[in-house]
Amino acid sequence: MDHQLIINVLQQLGFSEKESSLYLANLEHGLLTAGQLAKKTGINRSTSYHLLYNLQQKNLVKTVFVNGLQLFKAEPPQTLLEELEEQEITLQQKKQLIQQTLPAFQDLHTDSTSEEGIVFYSGKEAVEKMYQGLDWTSRKFFGVFSPGRLDKLFGEESYWGTYSLDILKQQYADALITKTAGTSRFKRVIHNLEAPTTPRLLGNEELATDLMIFPDQVVMVDLKDHPTAVVLKNKLLLQSYQHLFKELWKVAA
């Protein structure tokens, strides 16, 4: 196998062409100074020092001092295989470490992505965590709810099922409820509420979405089997949704 073929192999292993040339020259000619190696390879002397240092870090070249003169000696080719085997062992150890700690990483993962002023949530668990993180105690909170859809998605015993009734009972918000989506438990609570914050029924069609308008953000949720949510913190959009809700409130039953 000629030099160029060997250099090609070394490049596939992650070495640069100049590193490969220096290693082969050192391997072929034995102990040499950086200047001698530079002449044999046609590589600038200062560059050769830098590349020889890189090869030392990769355990392919070592430094030897003879009569105060710094010489470089190439390690035998077998070192390449030994280094690859060592890397393979290290990679397996890292892989095992990731596998052991993966559950902890997954517990921290919210499956959300964000851009400036916008946060996206995807999946039932991520959306439910999003609900739990909202400030439901705001007296200026408005909502357009589909209780039946929410109960079906999360269950009456879930965080939503337990806390949503408290929202209505404590009159935290003005709420529009989709007419045909209300479950019996919601209807009982709504019937017993008193003005001025009694929820109003909105239309005769069941909505497959949830809309919540807070003083600082708008939250929109797609209530399908694999729900998604979008949280907007854009001031202009927030003002538009607040205005829209007030208009809907006027026309709701």
pTM of the complete model: 0.48
- Helix axis angle for 147-154 and 159-169, nearest 10°, is 150
Give the pLDDT confidence of 192-240 residue by residue, as tens digits.
Answer: 544 445 666 666 666 788 888 888 889 999 988 888 999 998 888 888 9
Which CA distances in Å does 38 have to 6, 21, 123? Answer: 19, 10, 60
Residue 87 domain-assigned?
no
Give the pLDDT confidence of 174-188 residue by residue, as tens digits.
Answer: 566 654 444 555 555
Residue 112 confidence (pLDDT): 57
Q: Where is pLDDT greater, at 140 or 65?
A: 65
Residues 128 and 189 in one domain: yes
Residue 139 domain-assigned?
yes
- The single-letter code of the amino acid at 219 is V
Residues 20 and 134 in one domain: no
Q: What are the DSSP E strand ranges found in 95-134?
A: 112-115, 118-122
Q: Where is pLDDT greater, at 192 or 22?
A: 22
Residues 140 and 187 in one domain: yes
Strand 173-178 and strand 200-202: the pairing is parallel
Q: Where is pLDDT greater, at 58 or 154?
A: 58
Residues 70 and 125 in one domain: no
Burial of residue 103 (CB within 10 Å: 0-12, 13-18, 19+) is exposed
H or E, element range at 92: helix 78-108
Residues 153 and 236 in one domain: yes
Domain of residue 124: give its range: 112-251
Q: How many domains does the chain have?
A: 2
Q: Where is pLDDT greater, at 99 or 40?
A: 40
Residues 69 and 194 in one domain: no
Which CA distances in Å does 111 have to 97, 107, 120, 130? Answer: 22, 10, 8, 10
- The single-letter code of the amino acid at 235 is K
> pLDDT confidence of 110, banded at 50, 70, 90?
low
Residue 16 domain-assigned?
yes
